[in-house]
Structure 1
Amino acid sequence: MRVLVTGAGGRLGRVVVPRLREEGWTVRATSRHARDEPTVEWVTVDLATGEGLRPAVAGVDAVLHLASTPKGRQTHRVDVLGTRRLVVAAGEAGVRHLVYVSIVGVDRVPIPYYRHKRDAEQVVAAGEVPWTVLRATQFGGFLDEALRAASRLGPVIGDPAVVAQPVDPRDVAERLVQRLTAGPLRRIEEYGGPQVLRFDEAVRAWNAARGTRRPLLPVRVPGRLGRELRAGGLVTGATPRGIRTWSEYLSDTYGGTAGK
């Protein structure tokens, strides 16, 4: 079986591509710039313009769509219009399954990027290619980056009551391999990490792993955004879940012991 992976050079793509190869899939990977790797067929594709799309989807059985541009003016062009171009090209090529990776909370949390991801989900569902949407919770690495950004001035600034459910990209990759193997769901599936954590709990574990004592400066996120984040807009009760915890991510990244 041959699968086209868009965004194969990203955080999730770098994990899922070798897992697909282990399972016997032949991988064709997309990048905006030429790459050379003996074990993977790299093709150059620009979702913002559609350049390279038709030859990329030719002859593949499935498409795993990971590519995304979360910042800047290109988000709509890549995530929505680019997804539409991909869906049309895949339909013309006779692709039998398109798996799109989205984010838990795109239908609840009022963030502009999430609105684009939700629009892309609808594009996938309206296309002629049998489909699956997998919404994942935030990666541990993303939470780590958010905490580093929130502590630039010394203390960690954030809303203590916001809840998150960090998931390991390796767990998400495993679920994606299972979904590709099982075939189209024609519905949305959610997938999260093993633990739901309040922001203050995540900060304590982060400090312990890094050997720091940055205090938490509580700042309540206002409006509807804050209400949704505190009410669990970024978490899911769906099962199965991932197995690698936030503490394990921290231990792998920083060493030492991460408190719970």
Structure 2
Amino acid sequence: MYTIGQVAQFLGVSRDTLKFYEEKELVKPKQNIVNGYRKYNHFDIYDITTVNFYREIDIEIKKIQELRKSKSIEGIKSLLEEKEQDVLEEIEYKKLLLKKIQIVKEDCEKIKQFLGEYTVQEMKPLEIKGEIKHFTAYDEYETLKKNTDSLKKAVTLTSLRRVINFNDEGMIEDGFLIVREVEDYDKEIKGEILSHPKCIYTVIEDGRWSTGGKSIDHSVEANLRKVAIEKGCELLGIVYINLLLTTYEDELERTFLEIYAPIK
């Protein structure tokens, strides 16, 4: 027979945890009527180590209580398979989250390299997942989110691209595309693919810290027209804008935008 202190020490659990297990009837040590001391036998040790295992794999207390009462081998297997699927989905999500973090790190490098610079680059293919006709059309965005399998998938499911159409007289319309970057040999493509082999590319700064809250659309348009003339190319009348990063200076946001303006 073992005292609560001995069990806590060699199983690496706290006394409070053992008392919690007892309160939830997951372990039932004998208690001395005179002094109230608990005594644990080897069957209690089996119970505690089993409960620890189920807790480590994040099985809820209620389910462990059900297991404690009665559960066939097939029932345990079914429970473990369910938990296995949860873990696999969580691993997949973490992979996607890691990828997103790595992309933002790359975006920081883009800002350092291309801020205020104008080059000609390819806009890599994007799969169009949906369209929002105007930035105030929140109901459209909510509908698109509800059509996803899981909100967790928003990590990679979507990123917004603002799309501005313009002609010689100025802006015609603007809206948003919800897109997914297409990987090499991507087998999950279901929507329309958007790509442009040649674009004027730059990174610009927006936000109240740098602009005082004023719109910079017209100045960006003017700069693109100027660069197009300098490079001897023609703008196609459309611009794709991607939010790279937002940070803060003097409690005012500094937003960095990636611009692709297709040319011919």
Structure holding more strand per residue: 2
Q: Which TM-score tier does this pair reach, normalised by the shorter chain? A: under 0.3
Whose radius of gyration is greater, 1 or 2?
A: 2
Structure holding more helix per residue: 2
State TM-score, norm by structure 2: 0.22
